[in-house]
Structure 1
Amino acid sequence: AAGLLGRKTGQGFYRYEDGQKIEQPEPAAESVLLNRPYWLQSDDAALRTQVAQVLASAGATLESGEQPSAEAICLITPLGEDCTAAVSRLGLPAERTLALDSFADWDKRRTLMRQPAAAADVVAQARQALAADGVPVEVINDSPGFVIQRLIASVVNLGTEIAQKGIATPETLDRAIQLALGYPKGPLAFGEHYGKQAILTVLNNMQAVYGEPRYRPSPWLRRRVQLDLPLTTPDFQE
C-alpha cells in the first residue's frame, strides 16, 4: 500500500517519476583529516583483514596490540549490546569508541553505532575512513543489536520456535520460508550463516535489556548450540 501511494504521489520511502522509482545518490561524507590510528576489538581474523585493508586505502593504520594506544579510535563489535554497555564492560575510552556491526555485508554497506560520549570528530573520521573504498557507511544511534543483528536473530529465533513445534521438518521449513518470502536463505540457514552461537548471544543480551518474550531464545536454538549441532538437526534421529 505504501509503495502504491508513493508511485501515485511521487513521494514516499522512495521517490517516483512516471511510476518509476528514482535511485537516490548516497550523500557524500564530509572530508576530514585521517590522522589517527585505529584499534579493533574482534577475534574474527577475516573481519580484521577487511578492516585493515579499507583503513590502509584511507591512509590509516590498524593497531595490533591487546589494548589501544592513547590516540587510537576504538572500534568494537558487540553482539546484542549497545555501544555504551560494551564500552563500560571493556573499560574503553568512551569519547573515542564506536561500535561496528559484524553482521553487516562488508562489501555492500557498513554500520557504525555511536554512543552519547563519542566525540563528533571521532565519528566523522571513522565514517570517512571506513568508506574509503566506496562502500557506504551508515551511522546509527546507540541501540542494542544494531538493526541487522536484531532482525536476523529474531527471524532465526522464530524459525527455531516453529521447528520446535514440529510443524514441518527443518528442511521443509527453510524451503517454505525461502520460497514464500523470497529470502536468500531460510531462517535455520541464516542461523548457520551468521553462527548459531552469535545468534544466541544476540538474543540473550537483548532479552537481558528489554525483557521481552520475543527475544527469549528457543529451546531448539539453545540445545543445538550446547550440543554443537546444526540448526537443521531434528529432535530425534530415525
Structure 2
Amino acid sequence: MDKITVLGAGTMGNGIAHVFAQHGHQVSLVDPSKDALEKGLATIAKNLDRMLAKERIGPGEKAFTLGNITTFTEMAPGLTQAQLVVEAATENTSLKLDIFKQLDALSPADCLLATNTSSISITQIAAATNRPQQVIGMHFMNPVPVMRLVEVIKGYSTSDATLKKVMELSKALGKTPVMVNDYPGFVANRILMPMINEAVESLHHGVAGVAEIDTVMKLGMAHPMGPLQLADFIGLDVCLSILEVMFKGFKKDKYAPSPLLVNMVMAGKLGVKSGEGFYDYSSSKKAERVAPQFL
C-alpha cells in the first residue's frame, strides 16, 4: 500500500504521517485547519532535525520524508487514490462515527479504513460503514516516531485479509504490531488507565503528594515516568474520555473516573497541552514543579 491518507494533523496524526512518509509512502495529511496542518508539518520537521542530530537518519532523509507529504483542508481530494486511511481525530465517538460515514462514501471501494482510537469500539465504528470487513484499529503509541508498539484491533467483522495486510504494513514501518480483540480500552489502556486513575485517587485521598506518588512508581516499579506525569503527557481529558468509555462498556466501578480527574478537566487543567495539570508546564514541557491541586 503506497497511498496513505491520515486524518488529523495533531500530535498523533502528524506522528503517523511522519512514520509512513519516512518509509516511502505517499501521504495525504488532511485537517480542516490550515493552521493545524502548518503546525503538524513544523513538528515533523523538528522531529526529523532531532533524528538527524542523533544520526538516526541520513542528511537526505528529512527532505525525502517531507517531500512524501501533501496537505489538504478538505477530505475528498485527499482520498482519491487512498489505499489505507488512518483516522486520528479527537477521541469522541460521535465524531468518529460521522467521519467513517464520510470515509465510506468518499474513499475507493477497496480502501482499508483504520482508526487510531485508544478505546472506542472498532465494531461500532465499522457499523457506520458499508465495508465493516475493511475497518480495523491501528492504535499507535505516542510519540509515534519513537514508540514501536502498534495495537492492531480486530473488530467483530474485520476480515482476516484486512488484519494480515495491516499487521504486515505495521512491521514494514519498523513497528511491533500486536493483535488484540475489540473490547473497551483494548489491552494498553485497559491496564494503564486504571493504574493512572488509582494514582489520582491516592492523591485525592491524601495518601501522598504528586511527586511522592510518581517517585514510588519510578523507583519501586521501574517505570520511566510516574503515572501522574504520564497522565499530564497523555492529556487529562483523554484519560477521562478513555475511562468513561471503559466505565460505560464494562459497567464496573473500578473504571469510574476519580472525582479529582473530573474536576481538573472541568477546570481546564489538562496537562502539558494546557500548561498545567498535576505539574506546571508554563515555562517548558518538562514537569518542573508540582502544580496546585483541586482536592
For normalisation by structure 2, the TM-score amounts to: 0.60
2:224 pairs with 1:219: no
Match of 1:4 in 2: none
Which of structures 1 and 2 has the larger relative contact order (alpha carbons within 8 angstroms, sep 6+)? 1
One-letter amino acid of the structure 2 residue matched with residue 176 of structure 1: V
- The equivalent position to 2:10 in structure 1, one of 18, 39, 45, is 45
Equivalent-residue separation in structure 1 for 2:210 and 2:10 (angstroms): 31
1:1-238 correspondence to structure 2 within 5 Å: 34=1, 37-41=3-7, 43-56=8-21, 57=23, 59=25, 61-62=27-28, 64=30, 65=75, 67-68=102-103, 69-70=107-108, 71-88=110-127, 91=129, 93-103=131-141, 106=144, 107-229=147-269, 230-232=277-279, 233-235=292-294
By how many angstroms is 1:140 displaced?
Answer: 1.6
Q: 2:151 is paired with a residue of what secondary structure?
A: strand
Unpaired segments of 5 or more residues in structure 1?
Answer: 1-33
Is the CA contact 2:217–2:223 (under 8 Å) kept in the aligned structure 1? yes
Is the CA contact 2:6–2:27 (under 8 Å) kept in the aligned structure 1? no
Deviation by residue 1:129-186 (Cα, 9 ceiling, x = unmatched): 2222322212222121121112221111000101110122222222222222221122
Aligned length: 200
Equivalent-residue separation in structure 2 for 1:45 and 1:98 (angstroms): 21
Q: 1:79 is paired with a residue of what secondary structure?
A: coil
Unpaired segments of 5 or more residues in structure 2?
Answer: 31-74, 77-101, 270-276, 280-291
How much is the aligned-residue C-alpha RMSD, in angstroms?
A: 2.4
When residues 153 and 209 of structure 1 are mapped into structure 2, their CA distance, relative to the original with a 3 A threshold, is same
Match of 2:52 in 1: none
Equivalent-residue separation in structure 2 for 1:129 and 1:158 (angstroms): 36
Is the CA contact 1:79–1:201 (under 8 Å) kept in the aligned structure 2? no
One-letter amino acid of the structure 1 residue matched with residue 137 of structure 2: A
Equivalent-residue separation in structure 2 for 1:92 and 1:197 (angstroms): 31
Q: 2:172 is paired with a residue of what secondary structure?
A: coil
Equivalent-residue separation in structure 2 for 1:97 and 1:156 (angstroms): 30
Q: 2:197 is paired with a residue of what secondary structure?
A: helix
Is the CA contact 2:154–2:180 (under 8 Å) kept in the aligned structure 1? yes
Indicate the percent of aligned positions where both proteins have the same amino acid. Answer: 17
| Structure of higher CA gyration radius | 1
By how many angstroms is 1:38 displaced?
Answer: 4.2
Structure with the higher fraction of residues in helix conformation: 2
One-letter amino acid of the structure 2 residue matched with residue 85 of structure 1: Q
